[in-house]
Every structure is written in C-alpha cells, then in structure tokens.
Amino acid sequence: MNISKISMRNITRQKKRSFLLGGAIAFGVFIIITIGSFTAGMTETLKENFTSIMGGHIYILGTETLDSGRIVQVIGDTADLERAIDTVDDLVKEYHVRSQVRMGEIIFGSKSTTLQVSGIDWNKEQLLKDTLTIADGSLENIEKAGSLIIPEKVADKLGVIPGETVLIRMDTVTGQKNVGEFTVAAIVQEQDSFSFISAGYTEMGYLNDLIGLESDEYQYLNLHLKDIAQMDIVAEKLVTELEKTSLVDAGDDEDEDGEEDQRHGMMFGGGMTSASDEPWDGTKFSITNLNDIMEPVLQLVNILNIVSLALFVILMIITMVGLINTFRMVLIERTKEIGTMRAIGMHRGSVRSIFLLEALYLALFGAAGGIILSFATTIITGLIRFTADSALGLFLHSGRLQFITTPVSVLQVVFLLAVMTLIAVYLPAKKAAKLKVVDALRAQY
C-alpha cells in the first residue's frame, strides 16, 4: 500500500471529524473566492459602464479664461492637442470628441428630470452606436439636428415616446440659461443600469449651438484604446507631449479645496463657469483616465479584498489550530500503528509524508467544496435581476451582478491554503516520524 493510499484511507477512518475540518476549510475558501469574484466583477462592470458613458478610457478636457477672468470649458486651439495625440496614435482605437451638458433638465409637459446630454459626432463615433441597446425608436435619423437618445428610465418618468418633442433646460459654457427643443429619436436600455447618471445623446453641432460653442469646437477629446492596460502609459505620454507646448493639469495632485474632485466633476460635464484668480492664455488641458475616476471605487474594492483576506486568514488560523490539535490526537491514536509500520520497514520520511498528505488531501477536499459552493452561489446570484434604482445600480451589468472568478485567483487561494495546512501539520508529522519503534509499540494508548 503506498503512502498516498494510506493517507486517503486515514481521512475516511474518522468521517465526522474529517467532515467538520473540511467544512471549516470549505467555508473559508467559499468566503474568499465569492468576495473576490464579486469585487472583480464589480470592478469590471464599473469599468465597462464608465467607458461606455464617458466614451473612452482617457479624457482630455480643455479650459480657457475669458477676458472677465471666467473659466469656460472648451478646447479652442486644437493644433497642440493634435500634435500630442499623433504620438500615441498607434495605441488608439477611436477618438471621440464631445461637448456636454452635465445637469440638463429634460421637460415634457409638467414632468421633468435631470439628464446629462452629450453632443456626439456620429460620423466619428461608431462604438457608442454599437453599445446602445434600442428599446424603442431607431438610430436611423440620429445625425439630424435635434434628434435625441434617452434612457428608458427617463422616458418612463416623462411618459415620452419616440417622435415626441421635449425641452432641455441647460447652461451655456458661460453659465447663461438656455433651452433647446429636441425630438426623441430612440429610447435605449442599458444606460439605466448606470443609475446615478441618466445619459442622453444628441448631435454635437446642435448642442454646441445651444451651449454657445462654434459647431466645430468641442469640450473634450476621449481616447478609446486598443488595450486598456496601456491606459496609464498613454496618459503619461500625452501629458509629457502636451507640456511641451501648453498648460497641463495631469490630474495626479490634489489640493485641500478639492481641485481633483472638481476636475472629476468637470469630466462629467460642461458649463464650468467659475472665476479664475490667475487667467492664462490659450487652452489649459486636463488629462484624466478611467483609473483616476475609478480610484475611490478601486480603494473600496481593495478594502473589501483586504477584509475578505483577513477573514480568510482568521478562519484559516482557527481551522489550523483545530488541525494541529486533531493531528496531535491522531498521533496519540496511531502511535502503535506507527510503531508497527516502522517495525515492518517504513522509513521516518514516509511516516511524516502520510501525516502531511492526509492534511493536504483534507485541505484540497475542503477547498474543492468551497469552490463548488462559491460557483453555485455566484451563478444563482448572477441570475437575479435587480432594478436599476436599487442600491446596487452602480454595479449592475444589464441589471445583474457580475461575478468574475479567474483560475489564477482560485489557484492562489488553494496554494495559500495548502501551504498553511502543511505548516500547521508539520510539527505533529515530525513528531510522528521521530517516534522510536520500541516506544511506539510499547505505548498503552
């Protein structure tokens, strides 16, 4: 009988004890894999939602000062910017130029609600069209001035259908009040899963006219990269290139007045009209990327991961203490058996290996149980459809929670568990291996 078979047989000798120990290990594995899958899915969903609604991965915003000292959001002179983006052109999939009304108020009859309206150059921005899921109406005439796409949630609230005319109250780039007439061309799904922003889209030239920009001007340029992993490198390169010719706010410093918060706020829309103490010439660029915007959320994800890891480690320490005690008892129970095996020629190393393998098998069975339980839980939870208005709205992908479990993350947990188990059982195993044959055979217990 080889060592592996003996170890396996030993597990089945004390079924109840093995089940309890394996169950504790399974619970710890279940917790860490489920939370890890949730946070990975949450991060991915947020990235997808942000990319979709922001129109890319890197966002270049322009601000200029008026003679009065007031700051307006516009990229007036594009020559420097074009020169800079040429240097990263091979890494970019699509360029999206946009103007935006951050806090527009869409009105239909006596009903109104908040809507962020983005002005889109439909000839250049194909990806957005591909990601929109039409619930009603069509994108056929979307390039027509005044055509508007709104999310289903907004359409439901207003009771509006495609073909009807709505008003949008907005501010111009200098902060003046204005109102525009729009015809609802299409009502889209999905956007409402990103529930904290209701995003609408219209033709850029028409929106520009309403917010006081020239038809060919825009407020920011978004870069949709071929590889999202290149995001920080591309952003850094753009900052370096732009700094050669223009004022640049790279987005990596923060002052106590919450300048970074303001910059992120600006990324979500136009019409910034605060006064500047120190006016500047030309366009001042601000470059942020998806990681900058998601930083608070990523911090939350990291905290969740740390908490789950701490919980896992605590659970494992408790389990390992149980494991040590169990194997010390096993050592006492099997002293005579060890003496017999040693007497018929088994080496000390083999005795140690039997103990270690028994513990390892127990840990692996427990891990397998935890992984299966975690998979079942995530699959079932992933099937539940939440309403966009729920507290989870921000983390929903098509109305559902997304769980991502990677083989690497599972293997990491299993490896960590295996190492902890082997360390815990090493001392009883060593003690068992060191037993003298005569003493073991003479043992009265």
Partner 1 sequence: MKKAITIFLVLLIVSLSTVSAISLDDANTILDTVDTSRNFTGTDFSAVMTMISEDPDTGIEKKKVQQFRRDDSDMFLMLFIEPAAEKGQGYLMIDENLWFYDPQSRKFNHTSMKESFGGTDAKNSDFGASSLGDDYKVLTVEEGKLGRFDVYIMDLEGTNSEVTYPTVKIWITKDTNLMLKSEDYSATGRLMRTSLFPSYAKVGDKFLATKMIFNDELIDGKKTQITITDISSKDLPDSIFTKSYVERVNR
Q: What is the DSSP letter of 277?
A: S
Rounded least distance, CB 167 to partner 1, Å: 6
DSSP labels, 380-437? HHHHPBPPTTSTTGGGEETTEE-----HHHHHHHHHHHHHHHHHHHHHHHHHHHH--H
C-beta neighbour count of 305 within 10 angstroms: 17
Rounded least distance, CB 175 to partner 1, Å: 5
DSSP labels, 55-92? TSSEEEEEEEE-TTSBEEE-B---HHHHHHHHTTGGGE
Nearer to partner 1, 276 or 412 (CB): 276
- Using CB under 8 A, pick the residue from 78, 273, 276, 377 that binds partner 1: 273
The dihedral formed by the CA atoms of 417, 421, 422 and 427, expressed in degrees to the nearest 10: 160
User: Number of helices and strands (H, E) in the chain?
Assistant: 13, 14
Nearer to partner 1, 43 or 286 (CB): 286
- Using CB under 8 A, pick the residue from 13, 93, 109, 140 that binds partner 1: 109
Rounded distance between C-alpha atoms, residue 135 and residue 124, angstroms: 24
Q: Does 104 bind partner 1 (CB under 8 A)?
A: no
- By rule CB under 8 A, what count of residues binds partner 1? 24
Tokens of 322: 């149980």
Q: Show contacts with partner 1 in window 310-369 (CB under 8 A).
A: none
Stretch that binds partner 1, among 106-114, 122-130, 242-250, 310-318 (CB under 8 A): 106-114
- Using CB under 8 A, pick the residue from 14, 78, 87, 178 that binds partner 1: 178
**CA angle in degrees (0–180, nearest 5) for 418-420-424:** 115
Stretch that binds partner 1, among 107-115, 224-232, 364-372, 388-396 (CB under 8 A): 107-115
CA-wise closest residue to 103 among 292, 265, 285: 265
Rounded least distance, CB 191 to partner 1, Å: 22
Rounded least distance, CB 87 to partner 1, Å: 36
Rounded distance between C-alpha atoms, residue 112 and residue 106, angstroms: 5
Nearer to partner 1, 64 or 80 (CB): 64
Contact indicator for 222, 58 with CB cutoff of 8 Å: yes
- Using CB under 8 A, pick the residue from 126, 215, 274, 299 that binds partner 1: 274
Stretch that binds partner 1, among 52-60, 64-72, 78-86, 416-424 (CB under 8 A): 64-72
Q: Does 119 bind partner 1 (CB under 8 A)?
A: no
Rounded distance between C-alpha atoms, residue 274 and residue 74, angstroms: 14
- Using CB under 8 A, pick the residue from 70, 83, 129, 430 that binds partner 1: 70
Stretch that binds partner 1, among 94-102, 269-277, 397-405, 430-438 (CB under 8 A): 269-277
Contact indicator for 271, 175 with CB cutoff of 8 Å: yes
**CA angle in degrees (0–180, nearest 5) for 134-138-142:** 115
Rounded least distance, CB 158 to partner 1, Å: 10
Stretch that binds partner 1, among 13-21, 105-113, 240-248, 323-331 (CB under 8 A): 105-113
Stretch that binds partner 1, among 4-12, 267-275, 389-397, 401-409 (CB under 8 A): 267-275
Stretch that binds partner 1, among 80-88, 110-118, 282-290, 316-324 (CB under 8 A): 110-118
**CA angle in degrees (0–180, nearest 5) for 135-293-197:** 30
Q: Does 254 bind partner 1 (CB under 8 A)?
A: no
Collect all residues with Cβ–Cβ distance below 8 Å to 281 and sequence separation of at least 6: none
Stretch that binds partner 1, among 119-127, 273-281, 326-334, 375-383 (CB under 8 A): 273-281
Rounded least distance, CB 179 to partner 1, Å: 5
Q: Please report, as a single letter, which amino acid is at residue 209.
A: D
Rounded distance between C-alpha atoms, residue 178 and residue 256, angstroms: 33
Nearer to partner 1, 126 or 274 (CB): 274
Rounded distance between C-alpha atoms, residue 375 and residue 407, angstroms: 12
Contact indicator for 270, 55 with CB cutoff of 8 Å: no
Tokens of 397: 């992908």
Q: Does 177 bind partner 1 (CB under 8 A)?
A: yes
Q: Does 68 bind partner 1 (CB under 8 A)?
A: yes
- Using CB under 8 A, pick the residue from 24, 210, 235, 290 that binds partner 1: 210
Q: What is the DSSP letter of 212?
A: T
Rounded distance between C-alpha atoms, residue 104 and residue 37, angstroms: 37
Three-state DSSP at 225 gives strand
Which x/- pattern over 157-176 shows residues binding partner 1 (rule: CB under 8 A)?
----------x-x-xx-xxx
Q: Does 110 bind partner 1 (CB under 8 A)?
A: yes
Q: Show contacts with partner 1 in window 180-199 (CB under 8 A).
A: 180
Residues lying near partner 1 in the complex (CB under 8 A): 66, 68, 70, 107, 109-112, 167, 169, 171-172, 174-180, 210, 212, 273-275
